[in-house]
Amino acid sequence: MPDSRTGTRRPRPEVATKLPRGTTARVVLASTRNAWADLTATFTITSWTLGWLGRIIAQVVFYALIGSLLGSPDRIRYLFIGSAVLATAMEALLVVSTTTRERYSGTLPLLVAAPTRLWPVLLGRSVQWLPSGVATATVALFVVGHAFGVSFTLGDGFAAFGVLLLVAVTTYGYGLALAAVVLRFMRLRNWATNLSYTVMMLVCGVMVPLTFWPPWVQWFAQIFPLTHDLQVIRLLESGTYTAREVLLHLGLSVLVALGWYTIGALLLERLVTTGRRDGTIEFAEA
Amino acid sequence: MTALRDVDLEIPEGEIHGLLGPNGAGKTTLCKILSTVLLPTSGRAEICGYDVVADTAAVRRLIGIVFGGERGLYTRLTARGNLQFWASLYGLSGAQAQLRVTTLLERLGLEQRADVRVETFSRGMKQRLHLARGLIGDPQVLILDEPTTGMDPVAAQEFRHLVRGLRAEGRTVLITTHDMAEAEAICDRVTLIDNGSILATERPSTLGTWITRYARVRADGVPPERVSSVTAALEALSGVAAVRESAPGTLVVDTAADGAAPEVLRLLLELGITDVATTRPDLAEVYLQVIGKRGMRVD
């Protein structure tokens, strides 16, 4: 900066532009703490149990009752498992809502102007929904499920719980990519999540088997990690599976999710570069 | 649309510089460019010798941004939680981060409420936390975007005191504000900006000479029945440019010659009017004169 009092240009100060090793991991962790603070501010144990969990259980039971109207125990179980696992995915998609709040709260320009990248912040920012989503589906599947004929052996139950964790983490990757798009085009905010949720409910084998759909829809459904994870949970519940087919589906789920995480990170960094160019990173949002 | 045009501004190190102008004048655009969240389509801007486009990483280590109000805070986190979060983004960790956070909380008088959620904070406390957040990276340059909007006078005064402290540390502060009293109170120099162009950059006191370079005399408590006669007597003095009643019982006398003010004062005292003072046009008056001319018109 020139010194106008002396008319001389001072030598510019040395600035260490390289951040210390481990900064990205620490940012994700710090963001995760922020996410947890959000959850504890939103819910108490009581309000989560009586409000949120109750609402999700009612939703799962509602779909199972449709199965009972169709008079088939298989259909009851099918709909119950599908809607219970969908609950985990649904909560993981709340990453879109939490992420876009960064614009409204005025933190986005500060994040952009900070020395770190944006994606590690937003990677950790909405993880509060993952344990919540896993917990609701766990209670639904393993507690309420008994009343609707859904049962697991102890080993398969533990494995199914692990797959629920995977549903949360993999769908979160998809949600993060979606959030990056919505953060750029905020007018999509209200319907992007609902559209995704509806499409996943229709094509991922939640309400009807994948084979119900024409081949191109079945191919399209592969882009959602839920398709693969849900199939594994159904196999575990049925007790008739081979390790190979379970591992194949799990592998596909992880691969697809890695793709979504990569796309999400790239889109978030792209948001920064285009936002700097076209002035869409505002200090104050209307 | 061109948001900024022919802007040429240098701010020396350690200066508190005010950016004044109406909404849409280009203040925020300038701050966004300096904050690296907006790329200029042409021209260049530097922070401590680093180009905001080419040396973005260096500039981001040198600046701190401070907003006003709720913007930019995680209100569900505690004050400490907010600072720890931002510390991690600036590459601070462990004991170093703890020390920086604790020091800032103490310095800004927030240590008693450090572990309370920010959503329960008063406006003034939030603003102190904003400043602490802006200082977390130990920046050389602070950009304050309307920091005292909506603050009560006591809290605003306290905040200004803190900003003056930054100058004492050798930091450079660029502050956008609508508050003329604030600009006058803390800024070493101010820049008036409108329609994306700089109208003037001066010391707040010097800007008054835009309206008049001569002293102005203000007389209070003039009895209503004597306003006309006193006005006539004053107008008859040589060197008096204008006399107007700015409020009931208050006369403002603009002079237009050196040495006219003492004559005006003497006459007023002879007429038995003792509540008198010499003044200069304040910044608010200059602002209204220069920018307020356009009224409600948006260019």
The enclosing domain of B199 has a CATH number of 3.40.50.300
Query: Are B223 and B105 in the same domain?
Result: no
Query: Are B131 and B229 in the same domain?
Result: no
The alpha-carbon gap from B34 to the nearest alpha carbon of chain A, in Å, equals: 10
Is B74 within 8 Å of A107 when comparing Cβ atoms? yes
Instruction: Return the HEC string of B278-297.
Output: EECCCHHHHHHHHCHHHCCC
Pair B33, B26: CB distance under 8 Å: no
Strand partners, B20: B177, B192
How far is B160 from B148, CA to CA, in rounded Å?
9
Query: Are B191 and B225 in the same domain?
Result: no
Asked if residue B184 is part of any domain, the answer here is: yes
Residues 79-118 in A contacting B (C-alpha not used; CB under 8 Å): 105-107, 109-116
- Whether chain B has a CB inside 8 Å of the CB on A155: the answer is no
Q: Given this model, what pLDDT does residue A59 score?
A: 93
Is A37 within 8 Å of B31 when comparing Cβ atoms? no
Q: Which of A38, A277, A283 sits opposite B39 (nearest CB)?
A: A277
Query: Are B159 and B267 in the same domain?
Result: no
Q: Return the sign of the alpha-carbon dihedral for residues A190, A191, A197, A198.
A: positive
Element (H, E) at B190: strand B189-194
Interface test with B, best of A121, A276, A281, A283 (most B CBs within 10 A): A283
- Cβ–Cβ pairs < 8 A, chains A and B: 145
Q: Could you give the percent of chain B with pLDDT greater than 70? A: 93
Asked if residue B259 is part of any domain, the answer here is: yes
Confidence of residue B210 (pLDDT cuts 50, 70, 90): low
Picking from B156, B188, B207, the residue at the C-terminal end of a domain is B207
pLDDT tens for each residue of B42-94: 999 999 999 999 999 999 999 999 988 778 999 999 999 999 999 999 999 88
Is B58 within 8 Å of A113 when comparing Cβ atoms? no
Tokens representing B128 are 């102190």
Asked if residue B153 is part of any domain, the answer here is: yes
Q: Which residues of chain B neighbour A34 with C-beta distances below 8 Å?
A: 74, 77, 81, 85
| DSSP secondary structure letters along B245-285 | EEETTEEEEEE-STTHHHHHHHHHHHTT---EEEE---HHH
Domain at B234, CATH number: 3.30.70.100
User: How many degrees, rounded to 5, is the angle at CA A192 between CA A188 and CA A196?
Assistant: 165
Q: Which residue of A has its CA nearest to B31?
A: A283
Higher pLDDT, B25 or A35: A35
Pair B144, B130: CB distance under 8 Å: no
Q: Which residues of chain B neighbour A114 with C-beta distances below 8 Å?
A: 60, 86, 89-90, 137
How far is A137 from B17, CA to CA, in rounded Å?
57
Asked if residue B294 is part of any domain, the answer here is: no
Is B38 within 8 Å of A22 when comparing Cβ atoms? no
Query: Are B171 and B86 in the same domain?
Result: yes
Q: Given this model, what pLDDT does residue A3 score?
A: 44
Asked if residue B148 is part of any domain, the answer here is: yes
Number of domains in chain B: 2
Residue B280's Cα: distance from chain center in Å? 19
Q: Given this model, what pLDDT does residue A155 score?
A: 95
Is B77 within 8 Å of A34 when comparing Cβ atoms? yes
Residues 4-43 in A contacting B (C-alpha not used; CB under 8 Å): 4-5, 9-13, 15-17, 19-20, 22-23, 26-27, 29-31, 33-34, 37-38, 41
Which amino acid appears at position B219 of this protein?
A: A
pLDDT tens for each residue of B95-117: 999 999 999 999 999 999 999 99
For residue A76, the 8-state DSSP code is H
How far is A195 from A178, CA to CA, in rounded Å?
11
Helices (H), A188-242: 189-203, 215-221, 225-238
Per-residue pLDDT at B253 exceeds 60: yes
Pair B254, B176: CB distance under 8 Å: no
Query: Are B249 and B200 in the same domain?
Result: no
What is the C-alpha radius of gyration for chain B, rounded to an integer number of angstroms? 24
Q: Which of A19, A33, A283 sits opposite B145 (nearest CB)?
A: A283
Interface test with B, best of A15, A34, A99 (most B CBs within 10 A): A15
Q: Which residue of A has its CA nearest to B46?
A: A1
Phi-psi region of A181 (alpha: psi -120 to 50; beta: other; left: phi over 0): alpha
Is A115 within 8 Å of B36 when comparing Cβ atoms? no
Burial (0-12, 13-18, 19+ Cβ within 10 Å), A37: buried
Query: Are B64 and B92 in the same domain?
Result: yes
- Structural domain of B81: 16-207
Asked if residue B299 is part of any domain, the answer here is: no
Q: Given this model, what pLDDT does residue B5 score?
A: 84
Query: Are B140 and B183 in the same domain?
Result: yes
Q: Which residues of chain A neighbour B73 with C-beta distances below 8 Å?
A: 105, 107
Picking from B207, B222, B238, the residue at the C-terminal end of a domain is B207
Q: Return the sign of the alpha-carbon dihedral for residues B97, B102, B105, B110.
A: positive
Pair B203, B268: CB distance under 8 Å: no
Phi, psi of B243 (to 5 degrees): -130, 130
Report the residue count for chain A: 286
B81 contacts: CB under 8 Å, gap ≥ 6:
A33, A34, A37, B74
The alpha-carbon gap from B217 to the nearest alpha carbon of chain A, in Å, equals: 34
Q: Which residues of chain B neighbour A15 with C-beta distances below 8 Å?
A: 48, 50, 58, 61-62
B104 contacts: CB under 8 Å, gap ≥ 6:
B83, B132, B135, B136
Pair B239, B259: CB distance under 8 Å: yes
Q: Which residues of chain A neighbour B9 with C-beta distances below 8 Å?
A: none
Q: Which residues of chain A neighbour B40 with C-beta distances below 8 Å?
A: none
Q: Is B16 helix (H, G, I), strand (E, B) or coil?
A: strand
CA terminus-to-terminus distance, chain A: 34
Q: Which residue of B has its CA nearest to A102?
A: B72
The alpha-carbon gap from B264 to the nearest alpha carbon of chain A, in Å, equals: 38
Q: Given this model, what pLDDT does residue B213 score?
A: 66
Pairing of strands B16-20, B189-194: parallel
Query: Are B118 and B178 in the same domain?
Result: yes
Q: Which of B49, B61, B85 sits opposite A1 (nearest CB)?
A: B49
Per-residue pLDDT at B178 exceeds 90: no
Pair A242, A191: CB distance under 8 Å: no
CA distances from B178 to B78, B183, B252 (A): 30, 8, 25
Is B91 within 8 Å of A116 when comparing Cβ atoms? yes
Q: Given this model, what pLDDT does residue B223 score?
A: 92
Q: Which of A1, A110, A276 sits opposite B38 (nearest CB)?
A: A276
Confidence of residue B257 (pLDDT cuts 50, 70, 90): confident
How far is A137 from A226, CA to CA, in rounded Å?
13
Asked if residue B291 is part of any domain, the answer here is: no
How many CB atoms sit inside 10 A of residue A249's CB? 21
User: How many degrees, rounded to 5, is the angle at CA B13 between CA B8 and CA B15?
Assistant: 80
Is B85 within 8 Å of A111 when comparing Cβ atoms? no
Is A111 within 8 Å of B89 when comparing Cβ atoms? yes
Q: Given this model, what pLDDT does residue A93 score?
A: 96
The alpha-carbon gap from B58 to the nearest alpha carbon of chain A, in Å, equals: 5
Residue B211's Cα: distance from chain center in Å? 20
Is B91 within 8 Å of A15 when comparing Cβ atoms? no
Query: Are B141 and B227 in the same domain?
Result: no
Pair A153, A239: CB distance under 8 Å: yes
* Sheet containing strand B250-255, strands side by side: B240-247, B250-255, B216-219, B276-279
Q: Given this model, what pLDDT does residue A141 score?
A: 96
Q: Mark the ranges of chain A whose per-residue pLDDT is less than 70.
A: 1-10, 285-286
Phi-psi region of A64 (alpha: psi -120 to 50; beta: other; left: phi over 0): alpha
Mean pLDDT of B201-216: 75
Tokens representing A195 are 């559209």
The alpha-carbon gap from A101 to the nearest alpha carbon of chain B, in Å, equals: 10
How many CB atoms sit inside 10 A of residue B164's CB? 13
Dihedral angle, C-alpha B171, B174, B177, B180, nearest 10 ° = 70
B69 contacts: CB under 8 Å, gap ≥ 6:
B123, B126, B149, B150
The alpha-carbon gap from A125 to the nearest alpha carbon of chain B, in Å, equals: 11
